[in-house]
């Protein structure tokens, strides 16, 4: 399934189990499964790009300083908060 367009969200809150992946592994998962990606930026002084996907009921994420090339973001979140440390 291919996704077209971008959805903007004002706020998203993440909680529960979150599995952190290396950016390269995250990219492979997204490419292999063609998953919709959620993107947000966290940080006050140091901005980090957070990318999230849900696959088989589990939330996977990666955190990087610079945007990941080649990732097609489906949902852009203005304010990303979490109950887990990202």
For residue 12, count CB atoms less than 10 angstroms from its CB and return exposed for 0-12, middle for 13-18, buried for 19 or more.
middle
For the chain, list the domains and their CATH numbers. 7-82 (3.30.720)
Across the range 54-71, mean pLDDT stands at 92
Residue 1: which pLDDT band, with cuts at 50, 70 and 90?
A: very low
Structure tokens at 4: 């077209």
pLDDT digits (tens, 9 = 90+) for 15-30: 778 899 999 999 999 9
């Amino acid at each position: 399934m291919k996704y077209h367009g971008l959805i903007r969200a004002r706020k998203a809150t993440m909680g529960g189990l979150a599995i952190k992946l290396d950016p390269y592994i995250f990219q492979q998962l997204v490419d292999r499964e063609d998953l919709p990606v959620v993107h947000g930026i966290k940080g006050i002084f140091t901005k980090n790009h957070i990318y999230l996907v849900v696959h088989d009921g589990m939330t996977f994420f990666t955190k990087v300083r610079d945007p990941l090339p080649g990732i097609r973001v489906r949902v852009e979140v203005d304010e990303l908060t979490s109950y887990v440390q990202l």
